[in-house]
Structure 1
Amino acid sequence: MLQLDSGFELDYSNIYNESCIQARDIQNFERAIQNVWRHTNILRSTGYEEGHLSKDGQPEPILFYQLPYISEDGINTPEMMNRLHCLREYARENIDTVISIGIGGSYLGSKVIFDVQCGSFWNNYTDEERQGYPRFYFAGFNVDGPYLEGLIKTLISQANEKGKDYKVLLVVTSKSGSTIEPMANFMILQKALEDHHINYEVTVVTETNDDAHPTILHDMAIKHQWRTFSVPYGVGGRFSVFTEVGFVTAALVGFDIEGFLAGAASMDMACQEEDVYKNPALFSALLKYIASERYGRIIEVFMPYGESLHSLSDWYVQLLSESLGKMSNTCLPYGRTPVPAVGTMDMHAQVQEHQEGRLNKVVQFIKVRDWNTSLVVPNLYSEYDKLDAIGDIPISDILNSALDANREALSIDNRFNMTISVPTLNAFHLGEIMFMHCWAVYFESILAGVDAFDQPGVEVYKRLIGPKLQTIKQS
């Protein structure tokens, strides 16, 4: 068990033991671990990853390691925090509904923040129950006509109910402003609001480094005098939840940004520990790499327990896929296929395969030890033994008992699994969990010989879709 002072725990006993990965496996990687630290030291001291180039073939900085720290000369600055605070208070006073429009990292990280802070029923609460924060919806993460039609109907209904004082804030997040899904959604929503005479404002989160040569979305913001926040240069979308990309959502729903960064900073310090057994990200990366390359466990099931962490699985799928699924420096393909799951739901959907299917998986559990809920199952039908067995038991104890039973069942058959647990679910511990995995995929990329920060495979379909859309436009 690897334990941090914060209460964060990494239980690796069900993957690192005499029947699974063993000490001699770790010992065989001493030189590889030295190479990890060589790369890491270069990255932290220069801001560049050895061998990494942008999609244009130019050297490109890699700066995710700076993100936990607020400083005048950093990515996250005091001035940025002040602007986010102003946005928060403005929205509470003036905005009824927010539509966050983005895809990939511009959506997935924000969705985690929203789900942890707000839960599933936020938009059904009264203004008082939301403490003045606006209703919040997501769009742009797909090009789904029926979904968008339903959202437009919802906005029209809300506007009719409140009247002329009703106001919508469209938050458009795109590094370039040319990404098809969010921009198509934005233009449809904008026109729908105008057609129905609904008041709205626009805030954009985009690359704003060069006013002389602005991106499409930045140029639109300048022309229309829209409020702007920045997609920072040197931070890929899958890491951007720790930037203004995620923090605009955080501000608009009252999420504790400072606490989130403090958790990430605490984890960043732990990830600088050179003893592999004391470094949660490095040890996790090493175990998963050995599990893949020596034991054939090329699939990772990422399984938090609790519905508010469901979207954390989706965020991790992108982080793992885009960081590790590519050609290595030995010209061989590498990657572990991520499978999102959530407990207990997927105990009734996937676990049969986990328990008795092919021996090709590592299961990563995420456990919250105290859910801070007082709900207890009432003992209403004690005449039935199986219902009497769950009567008078706190619902969160049932959740965690299910997790413990699942991991124990897998372990009986030597099926590889690890458990990350935190004392409770708050911004600090969420920051710990997410930033640990940012470092873990970087460490594993060095072990595997892949560039964690490019995504050449994504560019292939992007090149193909443009001509197809042009053909439709001309037909």
Structure 2
Amino acid sequence: MKYEKNFYQIKSNSEIFEKIVEEKKVIGYYNLVNQDTSEILTFSKTVTKKNIVVVGIGGSSLGTYAINSFLRNKSNTKKLHFLESTDPLELKKRLSYISDINDALFIIISKSGTTIETISVFKYLHSLVKIDKSNCVCITENDSKLNSYAKTNDIKTFEIPKDVGGRFSVFSPVGLLPLSIMGIDIKKLLDGCKEVNNSFFEKEEYFDSIFEKARFMVENKNRFNINVIFSYSSLLEGFNKWYIQLWGESLGKVNINGTRQALTPIGLIGPVDQHSFLQLIMEGVRDKTVTFIKVEDFEEETVIPDISIPHLEELDYVNNIKFKDLINMQADSTIQAVQDIGNIPTDVITIEKVDEFNIGKLMYSYQLLTSIVGSFMQIDTYNQPGVEEGKIILKNKFRNEDMK
């Protein structure tokens, strides 16, 4: 008697855990927590340029942007700029923010070395300033054409390991180099990742919480197929954008059963989006999970002054309240309002303070969550065939133009 099937069943936590343990042998982001950062730290100390310009797109810039935005009060006197869009107006605007293009270090980031957006912007920079080893560093795979260019011109390079995908690369030199140059403590950043990693693989605190969340999302993916992050701090706007790429590009796939999977990420910022999207959450279709992210201590003591404004005296109850307390009261009130409804799945993440350790924990835990959800759904979490198809069409368009 033979039995064959073309459907899949949701596996047990132990089966998925064993798969993740095996995955560590071929998926490199798990192992970045223990990397040697001495070369990055040594090079960072030599950088005297005032403008640090990251030229990259998607996974080559979003993670760095997320961490730097979160730690904006930690930066040194240098300015960090991002050139990623081929929108000519946006490119010109961002270049205008660079106070002195001759006092800039250009960090060119492309895993393949042939990313059309990145290389196009790099070409344009060549028309504005002389690019050489004094003002350029390349981060790429060690056998890419960008690496060959760098070696030919004696330009410093850092390697993106082949087994680390772009959207999982923030804790590789892709993120660590520019962040270290900006004065951010990358050791503490990796310590945060390491705490989550060790806890998870030793089946301690993070093991239970991440698996519980992943299993719920997969078991209810047809009912709650929209996953909302509601971050109560503008410091987390960059994190939201990074999460959207990580979640969407990793989990929007066809599984082994040939069924299209669709967990759709949405990033909101409180309290601003209380006045827009919250209405949809509260009274719209019940197709969303909501994760609230709070900052426990902003380390900022600004107080609403004890002032009465004519005709607005009814709001004097906010007088003498610290803004950091107000935003968390707004968060708690929204959380309670959503939870009181009773049929909107919610969870709350509280970041203890604004530092490297805590943003490292948050981002690494979301990388793990993404991997586990992908394993439960039985998809290839790390490819992006839907994105590659558009790249192929674009290249063909250029070839057709050349033939005219």
Which residues of 2 match residues 129-208 of structure 1 at below 5 A?
A: 131=76, 133-140=77-84, 142-155=85-98, 158=100, 166-194=102-130, 201-208=135-142
Q: Which amino acid in 2 is paired with 1:39?
A: K
Cα 1:411/1:152, change in 2 over 3 Å = closer
Aligned counterparts of 2:205 and 2:11: Cα–Cα separation in 1: 13
Aligned counterparts of 2:395 and 2:291: Cα–Cα separation in 1: 38
Q: 1:110 aligns with which of 43, 48, 64?
A: 64
Which residues of 2 match residues 356-371 of structure 1 at below 5 A?
A: 356-371=283-298
Aligned counterparts of 1:385 and 1:437: Cα–Cα separation in 2: 44
Which residues of 2 match residues 119-138 of structure 1 at below 5 A?
A: 131=76, 133-138=77-82
Q: Which residue of 1 aligns with 2:15?
A: 35
Q: Which amino acid in 2 is paired with 1:145?
A: P
Structure 2 gaps, min length 5: 1-8
Aligned counterparts of 1:200 and 1:154: Cα–Cα separation in 2: 21
Which residues of 2 match residues 280-295 of structure 1 at below 5 A?
A: 280-293=209-222
Aligned counterparts of 2:54 and 2:149: Cα–Cα separation in 1: 17
Deviations 1:47-100 (A, max 9, x none): 1xxxxxxxxxxxxx212221111xxxxxx22xxx22222222222xx2021110
Aligned counterparts of 2:49 and 2:327: Cα–Cα separation in 1: 37
Q: Which residue of 2 aligns with 1:326?
A: 253
Q: Which amino acid in 2 is paired with 1:422?
A: I
- Give 1:224 deviation, angstroms: 0.9
Aligned counterparts of 2:374 and 2:57: Cα–Cα separation in 1: 24
Deviations 1:323-344 (A, max 9, x none): 2110111110112101111111
Aligned counterparts of 1:325 and 1:226: Cα–Cα separation in 2: 38
Does the 8 A contact of 2:132 with 2:155 survive in 1? Answer: no
Say whether 1:257 aligns with 2:175.
no
Aligned counterparts of 2:307 and 2:294: Cα–Cα separation in 1: 29
Q: Which residue of 2 aligns with 1:163?
A: none
Aligned counterparts of 2:395 and 2:170: Cα–Cα separation in 1: 28
Q: Which residue of 1 aligns with 2:5?
A: none
- Give 1:307 deviation, angstroms: 0.9
SS of 1:441's equivalent?
Answer: helix
SS of 2:318's equivalent?
Answer: coil
Of 407-416 and 30-39, more deviation after overlay is shown by 30-39
SS of 1:235's equivalent?
Answer: coil
SS of 2:135's equivalent?
Answer: strand
Does the 8 A contact of 1:277 with 1:283 survive in 2? Answer: no
SS of 2:348's equivalent?
Answer: strand
SS of 1:232's equivalent?
Answer: coil
Aligned counterparts of 1:152 and 1:386: Cα–Cα separation in 2: 47
Aligned counterparts of 1:181 and 1:287: Cα–Cα separation in 2: 38
Does the 8 A contact of 1:168 with 1:199 survive in 2? Answer: no
- Give 1:277 deviation, angstroms: 8.6
Q: 1:62 aligns with which of 15, 22, 27?
A: 27
Which residues of 2 match residues 203-352 of structure 1 at below 5 A?
A: 203-208=137-142, 214-274=143-203, 279-293=208-222, 296-352=223-279
Q: Which residue of 1 aligns with 2:4?
A: none
Structure 1 gaps, min length 5: 1-28, 48-60, 70-75, 123-129, 160-165, 209-213
Deviations 1:133-184 (A, max 9, x none): 42221002x21101222233444x536xxxxxx5211110001221111111
Aligned length: 394
Cα 1:386/1:288, change in 2 over 3 Å = farther
Q: Which amino acid in 1 is paired with 2:319?
A: G
Say whether 1:83 aligns with 2:27.
no
Cα 1:444/1:84, change in 2 over 3 Å = same
Q: Which amino acid in 1 is paired with 2:386?
A: G
Cα 1:275/1:154, change in 2 over 3 Å = closer
Deviations 1:300-350 (A, max 9, x none): 111211111101011111111122110111110112101111111111221
Does the 8 A contact of 1:369 with 1:423 survive in 2? Answer: yes
- Give 1:472 deviation, angstroms: 4.5
Aligned counterparts of 1:297 and 1:250: Cα–Cα separation in 2: 36
Does the 8 A contact of 1:152 with 1:189 survive in 2? Answer: no
- Give 1:273 deviation, angstroms: 4.9
SS of 1:241's equivalent?
Answer: coil
Aligned counterparts of 2:111 and 2:11: Cα–Cα separation in 1: 38
Aligned counterparts of 1:135 and 1:274: Cα–Cα separation in 2: 41
Q: 2:53 aligns with which of 82, 94, 99?
A: 99
Q: Provide the aligned C-alpha RMSD in A.
A: 2.3
Does the 8 A contact of 1:172 with 1:186 survive in 2? Answer: yes
Aligned counterparts of 2:159 and 2:206: Cα–Cα separation in 1: 37
Say whether 1:394 aligns with 2:322.
yes
Of 106-115 and 379-388, more deviation after overlay is shown by 379-388
Cα 1:240/1:225, change in 2 over 3 Å = same
